[in-house]
Structure 1
Amino acid sequence: MTSSPPALTRIRIGSAPDSWGVWFPDDPLQTGWERFLDEVADAGYAWIELGPYGYLPTDPARLREETGRRGLRVSAGTVFTGLHHGPAVWDDTWAHVSRVAELAQAAGAGHLVVIPSFWRDDKTGAVLEDRVLTADQWRELARQTERLGREVRDRYGLRIVVHPHADTHVDTPGNVARFLDATDPDLVSLCLDTGHYAYCGGDSVALLKEFGERIGYLHLKQVDPRILAEVVAEELPFGPAVARGVMCEPPGGVPALEPVLAAAQELGAARDVELFAIVEQDMYPCPPDRPLPIARRTRDYLRSCGAR
């Protein structure tokens, strides 16, 4: 007889539109937002992210009504930024960020996930800029991200969590460490996406142990090592890699999530905080009937790891 794993009392499990193949505010290949909300609740999740701005209702009262009657709460909104370009992009960046932050705050969220802009087009692979930042661009990235963290905190009461992401400039362990070393811990935390970090050669447990005080949020995701090897060999951009299935259903890929969750639980206990761990299985595009069975199985698997 096997014993039950220790309860992960410091982890709040959720899911996101991404796990339903949603990448854009409106796309005929995507699941409709009403169906997403119905199915994410049916799969056993209590927390969700907003996904791309405009996918879920942007009227705060409507959003609260639609999520509340399904027993759902919002953990975070998400924005894409190109802050390494410096002050020249601030006004346009803030126009986008402020809309998302305002809605996230109104929905009761406490976080804003910040994803750096892609250096190549995630669909076509067209190179948009150099994949390596200059020293000046690193300084601007740090300076403008701190500014964003301060403004979002002071105006909306949200904590920004920067998401290392494939095909961006904050990706590999070296770049993640450089970014963390260059930014103020009081203003900038990290959203550790276990799948993206593995995609870019990182070890999530090692990151949790080395930079635990900087980890403010988690995305739970796995990569298929066989497909990842093909992606690396062929230098595929992220979009086609996802379409090929590089992000896979747990527990069939890497990293193993049990030690990640155990390290996150230990971290949460040491800091006396609860950490969100939001399931994100990138799979755009996907048939509309595919996400729900995967979401149910993933929720059951996470319960078997102690995530209630």
Structure 2
Amino acid sequence: MRAGINVWTWGITSREQFEQGVKEVADIGYRAVENIASIVTLYEDEPEAFDGLLAHYGVDFVCGYFHLSGDFDKDFANAERYLKFLQGRCPKVMNLQAAGRAKDGVTQAVLAETARQATQLGELGQRYGTRFCLHPHYATNVERRHELDYLMEHVSESVLGLTIDTAHCVLGGMDPVEIASIYGSRVGYMHIKDIQPIAPEGAPWFSKFREIGRGVINFVAVAQELEKAGYEGVLCVELDGPRVSGYKSAAISYGYLKDELGL
């Protein structure tokens, strides 16, 4: 396994933001980065600038992150646009986040439609050499254990893998160690962040997230389950809201990966 980091928190609207994120994490020691898939639109007219930036800092772009919006025709077109750009450029994985969750919960029909869309995107990804991996995420249509189980059962493993996000597992009432044990053979990517389940009243849910080692998650046990399953991919650090700065949080998590997991 290797250490990686998602640099979307440095910003996703300009090349300067992307470069600053890459520059900072490379300085820490990360050699693999992820970002929101739409970042490629900043480089479509000059793909050599994208390639040159990564080469300059010695990092690989290993994964894009794709959200379902509720407009699948638009989503499908955007996914193909991003896949075309990324084809042959390192990433073999695209994270897939389900659409936003309704206040009254998720119906069987919504799960069935999510499975249909995931299947179509997974098949599209195959044509471009990229594997879509479902990312269960708080406040989306795949948040809870039974929703994850439904997608894993109703979408072929050949077209859809799984990304375990350790902190989102906890928010969704799941144990990331247990999920890694059950679905380890299907894991194609990992998002790792820690969590402190108790937050001040009224605070947003993502305010519970912490740097690795600063919360309650047993990352050693998670890594052990992944090793049992033969996972050799990226452990991607992500922190939606760094408490001081992106650089400081990334450095704390990198230190844990080196000292406790031996990456």
> What residue identity is the alignment partner of 1:93?
D
Q: Does 1:51 align with 2:15?
A: no
8 Å contact kept, 1:195–1:254: no
Question: For the residues of structure 1 that align with 2:59 and 2:235, how far apart are their CA atoms?
Answer: 15
Aligned partner of 2:13 among 25, 30, 45: 25
> What residue identity is the alignment partner of 1:69?
H
Aligned partner of 1:114 among 64, 89, 96: 96
1:44 positional shift? 0.6
Report % sequence identity. Answer: 23
Counterpart for residue 113 of structure 2: 140
1:117 positional shift? 1.7
Aligned partner of 1:103 among 85, 110, 113: 85
Q: Does 1:74 align with 2:61?
A: yes
Matches within 5 A, 1:210-249: 210-227=182-199, 230=200, 240-242=204-206, 245-249=207-211
Question: For the residues of structure 1 that align with 2:156 and 2:51, how far apart are their CA atoms?
Answer: 33
Question: For the residues of structure 1 that align with 2:260 and 2:81, how far apart are their CA atoms?
Answer: 36
Aligned partner of 2:167 among 163, 170, 195: 195
8 Å contact kept, 2:213–2:256: yes
Matches within 5 A, 1:143-162: 143-154=116-127, 156-162=128-134
Structure number with the bigger relative contact order (C-alpha 8 A, sep ≥ 6) is 1
1:184 positional shift? 0.9
Residue 57 of structure 2 aligns to a residue whose secondary structure is coil
> What residue identity is the alignment partner of 2:90?
G
TM-score normalised by L of structure 1: 0.78
Residues 214 and 179 of structure 1, relative CA distance in 2, 3 Å threshold: same
Aligned partner of 2:138 among 166, 169, 183: 166
> What residue identity is the alignment partner of 1:102?
K
> What residue identity is the alignment partner of 2:126?
R
1:131 positional shift? 4.4
Deviation string 1:28-59 (CA, Å, 9 cap, x unpaired) is: xxx82221111010011000013352376444
Residue 234 of structure 2 aligns to a residue whose secondary structure is strand
Question: For the residues of structure 1 that align with 2:55 and 2:80, how far apart are their CA atoms?
Answer: 23
Structure 1 stretches (4+) deviating beyond 4 angstroms? none
Counterpart for residue 252 of structure 1: 214
TM-score normalised by L of structure 2: 0.90
Q: Does 1:283 align with 2:238?
A: no
Question: For the residues of structure 1 that align with 2:134 and 2:35, how far apart are their CA atoms?
Answer: 16
Residue 274 of structure 1 aligns to a residue whose secondary structure is coil
8 Å contact kept, 1:131–1:169: no
Aligned partner of 1:264 among 215, 223, 226: 226
1:174 positional shift? 2.0
> What residue identity is the alignment partner of 1:283?
G
Deviation string 1:212-243 (CA, Å, 9 cap, x unpaired) is: 2222110011111222xx56xx5x6xxx333x
8 Å contact kept, 1:21–1:282: no
Counterpart for residue 296 of structure 1: 251
Deviation string 1:78-106 (CA, Å, 9 cap, x unpaired) is: 11114xx6xxx432111211122223324
Cα root mean square deviation, aligned? 2.3
Q: Max radius of gyration: which structure?
A: 1
Question: For the residues of structure 2 that align with 1:204 and 1:217, how far apart are their CA atoms?
Answer: 13
8 Å contact kept, 2:196–2:208: yes
Question: For the residues of structure 1 that align with 2:104 and 2:238, how far apart are their CA atoms?
Answer: 25
> What residue identity is the alignment partner of 2:22?
L
> What residue identity is the alignment partner of 2:67?
F
